[in-house]
Amino acid sequence: MEDHLGYQLRRASNLVMATLADQLGEIGLTVVETSILILISRNAGIFQSEIGRVLGIKRANVAPLVSALERRDLVSRTSPEGRAVGLTTTQAGYDLSVRAEMIMRENDDRLFSATPQGACEAIRSALDDLWRSRVEKPARED
């Protein structure tokens, strides 16, 4: 199976995510929750639908995730009732996002410590191209 790049990617991703999930679990977050929390912290006022588009998560799946973050007072809606209102992190949410980012960076550094800098850049660039070639498509239906 090692000669299939797609499969290698999957296996490596599962491995990296398993260790990252352990680390993030210690501050009470899952990987997806973390990605949403950080995205909101960096983009105050963002809509749920945009979170879904940026992170590749269906609208239907963003809803319960954001609700959970809101219940835990990590995220708040700029206007309490109604829809299509921007999301922001609370102070606690922002603080947690900073800790989460630190954990993610440490995870990256540890896992790729043996990987030459040039290779890291090649991977980053290739994976980014891969992702952009997707989001630029006809606009995947829901």
Partner DNA sequence: TATTGTTATACTCTATAACTATA
Partner DNA sequence: TATAGTTATAGAGTATAACAATA
**Beta carbon nearer to a second copy, 73 or 121:** 121
Nearest distance in Å: CB 6, a second copy: 5
Nearest distance in Å: CB 47, DNA: 4
Binding residues (CB under 7 A) for DNA: these are 14, 18, 21, 30-33, 47-50, 56-64, 66-67, 82-85, 142
- Residue 15 touches a second copy, criterion: CB under 8 A: yes
Which DSSP string do the residues of the chain spell out, in sequence order? -TT-HHHHHHHHHHHHHHHHHHHHHTTT--HHHHHHHHHHHHSTTB-HHHHHHHHT--HHHHHHHHHHHHHTTSEEESSSSSSS--EEE-HHHHHHHHHHHHHHHHHHHHHTTTS-HHHHHHHHHHHHHHHHHHHTSS----
**Beta carbon nearer to a second copy, 92 or 120:** 120
- Residue 102 touches a second copy, criterion: CB under 8 A: no
108's contact among DNA, a second copy, none, with CB below 5 to 8 A by partner kind, is a second copy
